[in-house]
Structure 1
Amino acid sequence: MVKIILILISLAVFISSIFADQSDIIEVRDVPNDDGSALLINWEKPDYDVYGYQIYRLDQGTNEYIQVGEITNADQTEFIDYDPRYPLIPGVQVQYKIISLDHLGNELEVVGTSELFSTQASLFNFYKVNSFIATAFIFVALILFLNLARKGKGLFIRKIAGLDALDEAVGRATEMGKPVLYVPGLSTMDDVATIAAINILGPVAKKVAEYETKIIVPNTNPIVYTITHEVVKESYLEAGRPDAFDTDQVYFITDVQFAFVAAVNGVMMREKPATNLFLGMFWAESLLLAETGNITGAIQIAGTDAVTQLPFFITACDYTLIGEELYAASAYLSRDPILVGTLKAQDLEKAVILFLLLGISLFSLINFYFIHSSAINRILASILMVNS
């Protein structure tokens, strides 16, 4: 009887050791720095010939394994379970089973079964430290320059030729007794270029009012028309000339692209404005507007962030604001502390990023022995990701 009991105990220990070894074969770990949507599975390569593996997962509350992956390389004993079709839910326990495959893709036997494991979302994603540092740097620079601007410190903004010529252009219109034409683009208020154009319209309209000159502002969008009307009206009020404002000088024409262009070209041919300002978002009509204005002999100042339209403006206009110069123009004209401080903070950020890119690229070309190429690639990718 004692022998039978000992045999049963030995058998139980042997069976339990088999299952224990199977669970020890597979190791499941949580993938760090993620939202709890992935798990890393490692297992030991069997001591017999295999040609691949199939990975199965059993979710808590279900009684059927689902295949979450297949590996055709026998030496690969690592797998990351991340499949949007079968998402992992943080806190829900799962169990994995690895099955070996032969050269035909047929199942051989179970390599092992893991213990129950649940994924958890990481509190911090340390892969985003570069973004955090960049954001903190931008925030500190912004606060610093805002305080300097509010204290009246002279913050240098490089000269923009087109805006420096604005006084000359408005003065020429006054001397000739002709109006100033201002076209705030053909886009909507959702466009950054339109917002920038309206920001510039305020100082321009105020200067026109001070010179007692007429300004014409045709619009192709009803919402933009409403805003430009109020901006011009407010500018005349700030200049102390509310009586000189004519509500008919800011008007809506049509939202049809080339019909609007034909109407504006007609205004240029009839009114012969001394100064044309094309600021905002433009498309194919840019060439038609600029060429017509050039024919009338007007001073033309254009500005847009549409790269494809810049060549036409540069060719046919006297001055052109290129890209971000359009955004900086409102700060340049108004010298508002908030706008100037923001502009200087952005310039500092771009200068630092440019310096880092040039420095790391130089190190990569020289191929310093203490800088590994893969590390350089990671740093460059991080900087480019922050800049985007």
Structure 2
Amino acid sequence: MPYDKGEAVLLTWPSGPADVPGAVYQVYAASGKDWVKVEEFPAGTKLAADVELPFWAWDRHAALHVVQLDLPGFFNDFKIGNEYRFKVKYVNGKVTAESSELPAAPKPNLFNLARLNNLLLLIVTTIVFFWTVSHAKRKGGLFIRRIAGLDAIDEAVGRATEMGRPIFYSTGIGAMSGVPTIASTSILAEVAKKVAAHDTQLKVPHFDPIVMTVSKEIVKQAYAEVNRLDSYRDDINFFVSQDQFSYAASVDGMIHREKPAACFFIGHFMAESLLLAEVGATTGAIQIAGTEQESQLPFFFTSCDYTLIGEELYAAGAYLSKEPMLQSTLKVQDFGKAFVMVSIVAGSALLLAGTWFKLDTLVTVVKHLFKAY
């Protein structure tokens, strides 16, 4: 069987005038002396056009009968590489005819030609990625549209410095394995650099002790990168509680008492989002929020000054750090989205045209190109 892992065989033989109504084909297989009937079908079926393979890997117009046999379903002692024998019997009433025996030993294929379209897409994506990395290094960065919430970080840190008040940063209630939490820690690193440079007080209350441990190293590294390691304190990151509402109540109390100049709520948030953001709003703090939970975004919209929407949360690390590698991954994703949108429009137009003008070949080609085998 072409393009499989070595457990199937593909039997083909020419179709012809003998394929009349009422006639059937019987397919037999054997691993020893005994023959097993593995398939029986009407003579006018199982043609080359019925095989679900793309046009570049299979000739759908060939005048052939095609039968795919998955051998493990017929032989309990099946082993890849063992030789099996096959024969086909034609039956039309009292008229019968039988082919000679043919041996075959199934083996796995190194390359699945049916997935050539996926390989080409991967190659193009890889080329685009390395081109964007090279371009970013030569030009000193890539253009990324302005994100108001991230641009306001400087304003928030500056305001805290002028007022002599702390900055509160919450990474949410997600685990360290969560993508929003990982994105939040990348933003925390950039905020910590600005805080260290301005010698401002930063407080990061944590819901998860593992996130706290990771954040400690991130903040310490941020202080070291701006040569302010002497200002770093271990109590910048501290554990509060792993109970959702106990965490919210405790952080609310801290915000109410210390009246920070800025609050960041970035990460995975659930029902505690409004509890935290509402208390921060009553203190007059600049509030910047972001979460992947669509159900919590309305609460952040109403109580925060800036809210990161959708993929802005995940783009923040590249946006703030200006790191060419991170910016390149962001650009490749943008190119990928543009490609998908263009492909959907072009593919839909071609399918519509092919259906309208009854161009079956065009319809088949488009379907195969956009199908992931």
TM-score range, shorter chain: 0.7 to 0.9
Residue identity in the other structure for 2:328: G
Q: Which residue of 1 aligns with 2:115?
A: 128
Q: 2:310 aligns with which of 319, 323, 327?
A: 323
Cα distance in 2 for partners of 1:52, 1:291 equals 76
Give the Cα–Cα distance (whole angstroms) in 1 for the partners of residues 119 and 348 of structure 2: 23
How far did residue 183 of structure 1 move?
1.2
1:87-236 correspondence runs (5 A): 89-96=79-86, 114-236=101-223
Q: Does structure 1 residue 75 correspond to structure 2 residue 62? A: no
Identity of aligned residues (%): 40
Q: Which residue of 2 aligns with 1:4?
A: none
| Aligned counterpart in structure 2 of residue 57 of structure 1, from 18, 29, 32 | 29
- The TM-score normalised by the length of structure 1 is 0.77
Secondary structure at 2:344's aligned position in 1? Answer: helix
Amino acid at match of 1:94: Y
**Which consecutive residues of structure 1, in runs of 5 or more, have no partner in the other structure?**
1-30
1:195-344 matched pairs, under 5 angstroms? 195-344=182-331
Give the Cα–Cα distance (whole angstroms) in 2 for the partners of residues 32 and 164 of structure 1: 55
Unpaired segments of 5 or more residues in structure 2? 47-65
Q: 2:368 aligns with which of 353, 356, 378?
A: 378
Cα separation, 1, equivalents of 2:97 and 2:246: 74
Structure 1 stretch 362-371 or stretch 252-261: which is displaced more? 362-371
| Cα distance in 2 between the residues matched to 1:196 and 1:154 | 20
Deviation string, structure 1 residues 117-143 (Cα, Å, up to 9, x no partner): 122323321222222112111211222
- Deviation per CA, 1:40-75: give whole Å up to 9, x if none: 23467978985866654323xx4545564554x453
Q: Distance in 2 between matches of 1:187 and 1:360?
A: 40
Question: 2:3 aligns to what?
Answer: 33
Which moves more between the two structures, 288-297 or 154-163?
288-297
Counterparts in 2 of 1:295 and 1:63: CA distance versus 1, 3 Å:
farther
User: Which has the greater radius of gyration?
Assistant: 1
- Encode CA deviations 1:182-207: one digit per residue, 9 max, x unaligned: 11132222222222211111110111
Instruction: Give the Cα separation in 2 of the matches to 1:47 and 1:334.
Output: 69
TM-score of the pair, normalised by structure 2: 0.79
CA distance in 1, matches of 2:197, 2:20: 92
Distance 1:297 1:42 in 2: 78
Residues 87 and 102 of structure 2 are in contact (CA less than 8 Å); yes or no, is this contact kept in structure 1?
no
- Determine helix, strand or coil for the equivalent of 1:165: helix
Contact 1:274/1:299 (<8 A) preserved: yes
How far, CA to CA, are the matches of 2:40 and 2:253 in structure 1?
Answer: 69
Q: Is the 8 A contact 1:141 1:345 kept in 2?
A: yes
Secondary structure in structure 2 of the residue aligned to 1:332 = helix
In structure 2, C-alpha distance between the alignment counterparts of 1:159 and 1:130, rounded to whole Å: 35
Using the alignment, how far apart are the partners of 1:214 and 1:47 within structure 2? Answer: 86
Code of the aligned partner of 2:314: Y
CA distance 1:42–1:160, shift in 2 (3 Å): same
Q: How has the CA–CA distance of structure 1 residues 217 and 118 changed in structure 2, closer, same or farther, with 3 Å as cutoff?
A: same
Q: CA distance change for structure 1 residues 49 and 342 in 2, over 3 Å: closer, same or farther?
A: closer
| Secondary structure of 2:187 counterpart | helix
RMSD of aligned residue pairs (Cα, Å)? 3.3
- Structure 1 contact 222–252 (Cα < 8 Å) conserved: yes
> What letter corresponds to residue 134 of structure 2 in structure 1?
N
Query: Distance between the aligned counterparts of 2:331 and 2:20, measured in 1?
Result: 67
Residues paired across the two proteins, number: 346
Render the CA deviation track for 1:156-204: whole Å, top value 9, x for unaligned.
Answer: 1111111011111222222332211111132222222222211111110
Contact 2:86–2:102 (CA<8 Å) still a contact in 1? Answer: yes
Q: Which moved more, 1:113-122 or 1:208-217?
A: 113-122
What is the match of residue 3 of structure 1?
none
Counterpart of 2:123, as a letter, is A
Taking the aligned partners of 1:38 and 1:305, their CA distance within structure 2 comes to 45
